[in-house]
Structures are given as structure tokens and as C-alpha cells.
Amino acid sequence: MRGTTGTPELPWQWPEATWREIVGKVRAGRSLKPGQWKDGARVAVALSFDSDHESGTLREGESSPGKLSQGQYGHRQGVPRVLALLEKYGIPATFFVPAVIAMLYPDEQRRVVSAGHEIGLHGWIHERNSTLPAEAERDLQQRAADTLERIAGIRPVGIRTPSWDLSPHTIAISREMGLLYDSSLMADDEPYELLENGQPTGLVELPVEWIRDDAIYFNMDRYSALRPYTPPMSVLEIFKAEFDGAFAERGLFLLTMHPHIIGHRSRIALLERLVAHIRGHAGVWFATHAEIARYVKAQAGSP
């Protein structure tokens, strides 16, 4: 219902200008896929861990100790196992952390940063930002950046929006804050420049996809029919195939995981096998999201 004349319009009644405006609000611009990756590497690998922990429960206004304990597992077992694996293979990664989780577990964030990993924005309390008024969204995003900087000692340069949701204001807020990159959208496999209302924003998009997310394969809900439907080793096959495609195309392989999900014994094993598969290839550049965003932006130069 977007009619401005007082007459409600349904989507099939929209004039061309209306649907063009909607589609053009936030759009993929030029590809930022470089001619070659750093030091002549053939493929770039960006592993990310969204340290949601208890925030997925808190953001729903729930207080169930059982659900919260599933989140705390991410701190007690998930992050330590992930950090141990990354250290074993000398791989840098990016952790996207809601501010409330950073405040619950400040030592965890300092440990992540001291191990050489990046910390990026992931909302205040994993709020549903697409439902917020612009002022509230701006306030939360700025306070989250201040909080991560205070706790981790480094101001974040990138954002992954909670649940990959964007409001009509999210990109404008990220630009106001001078961020380098967003990693929440899905218009490509390769990095690209975000356009807002047809204009280049200078923001690098490092695209995600549900296919390359551990949560969709393993999540369950006690009171619905939602149950894990893919065995861990089948998820490994999917992730390997996504990497193999990126390697063949000399592109980017970006994978989203969650410590409270991937950190279980049966699943951290699949991550280790994936890392072994990737390391079996020559010309792999493991990097943080910020390193990749900086590299592709420098390679591409100005539009």
C-alpha cells in the first residue's frame, strides 16, 4: 500500500517508477572481484563466526534458562574450540559480536582480538533492526561500535546486521559511521560496491548466503517441526562444493558460522575437515573480512 493519492495501490498496480524506486534503494554496483588476490593467491577465504550466544533469546524478550544455556554454550565451548582450531592452522577470522554479548563476555572478545582476529558489529542485542525507527537503529549501531571499541580496544570497521536484515536506513547509517564494509547481502558471490539510490556508496559488500551458513542446517525448535535435517558430513559436502566453485572461478569463499552451533563436537569436526580440504589447495589466502574489503577496494580504485 504505497499510493500517494489516497488510493491504495497493490503491487501489480504500481506504476513503473514505484517498483524501480523500491528495487533501486540498495543495489549491487560494480563488481570488486580483483584480477588476483593478495600475493597472487587464487582464492580468498573469509571465515566468520557470529557470536550470538544468548542474544537470539534475549532479542525475543525471552528469559528461558534452557534457551539461554544453549547460548552460553557458545562462550563456554564454542568459541574456545573455534579459537583452538584457528590457532592450530594459523587462520585469521572475523567474529561479529552483538554489544550485549561483548559486555557479558569482555574477556572472550579480548582473547579473540589478541589472537589476531577481527571483531565486527552485529547489533546491540541482535535486535530486529528492520522494525526499528531510524533514530533507534542509529543510536543502537553507534552505541554498539562504542561498546566494542571500549571492550576490544579496536573500533570495528565492518558490520554484519543481525539476521542479515536491513531497514531502509541501515546503509545510510553505516555510511555515516564511516564503515568500510557490510556483510549481510546476497547479490553476488564476489565482493561488490553498494549503491544507494543509484549512487556509489564506497561501502564494500562481502556477500553472504544461507547456503554458506551453519545455522540453517542445524537449528531446531522444540515446539515446531523445525529439526536439523542435514547430517554434519553432508553439510561438509555443501561447503566443500562452494569452496571448490570459488577456487575454480578465482573468487571469494565466505562462510558464516555460529560458535554455539558449529562448536559442538560432531560439527567442529566438519569445520576441521573443511579447513583441511581448503589447505590442500595451492594459492589460498585466508583473511579477515576487513583485510579482504581493504584489498578489493584498493585494487578497484575509484569508480
Question: Residue 260, Cα to own-chain centre: how many angstroms?
Answer: 15
Minimum separation from the CB atom of position 126 to Zn ion (A):
6
Nearer to Zn ion by Cβ, of 50 and 205: the residue is 50
Nearer to Zn ion by Cβ, of 100 and 152: the residue is 100
Question: What residues contact 112, with CB distance under 8 A and at least 6 apart?
Answer: 79, 83, 95, 119, 152
Question: What residues contact 32, with CB distance under 8 A and at least 6 apart?
Answer: 190, 191, 192, 193, 204, 296, 297, 299, 300
* 145-184: contacts with Zn ion (CB under 5 A): none
Nearer to Zn ion by Cβ, of 201 and 288: the residue is 288
3-state helix, strand, coil split of the chain in percent (to 5) is 50, 15, 35
Minimum separation from the CB atom of position 122 to Zn ion (A):
6
Instruction: Choose, by CB under 5 A, the member of 52, 118, 205, 214 that binds Zn ion.
Output: 52
Query: Should residue 54 be labelled a site residue for Zn ion when binding is judged by CB under 5 A?
Result: no
Minimum separation from the CB atom of position 183 to Zn ion (A):
12
Query: Should residue 213 be labelled a site residue for Zn ion when binding is judged by CB under 5 A?
Result: no
Query: Should residue 50 be labelled a site residue for Zn ion when binding is judged by CB under 5 A?
Result: yes
Burial track 229-247 (b if 16+ CB lie within 10 A, e otherwise): eeebeebbeebeebbeebb
The three cell numbers of residue 80 are 574456545
Minimum separation from the CB atom of position 98 to Zn ion (A):
7
Which segment (30-38, 45-53, 171-179, 194-202) binds Zn ion by CB under 5 A?
Answer: 45-53
Question: In angstroms, how far is the first alpha carbon of the chain from the final one?
Answer: 36
Nearer to Zn ion by Cβ, of 52 and 189: the residue is 52
Nearer to Zn ion by Cβ, of 41 and 215: the residue is 215
Minimum separation from the CB atom of position 111 to Zn ion (A):
20
Nearer to Zn ion by Cβ, of 219 and 299: the residue is 219
Minimum separation from the CB atom of position 96 to Zn ion (A):
7
Query: Mapping DSSP to helix (H, G, I), strand (E, B) and coil, where does residue 13 land?
Result: helix
Distances 229 to 50, 73, 218, 232, 251 between C-alpha atoms, Å = 22, 22, 7, 10, 29
Query: Mapping DSSP to helix (H, G, I), strand (E, B) and coil, where does residue 162 land?
Result: helix
Q: Name the site residues for Zn ion (rule: CB under 5 A).
A: 50, 52
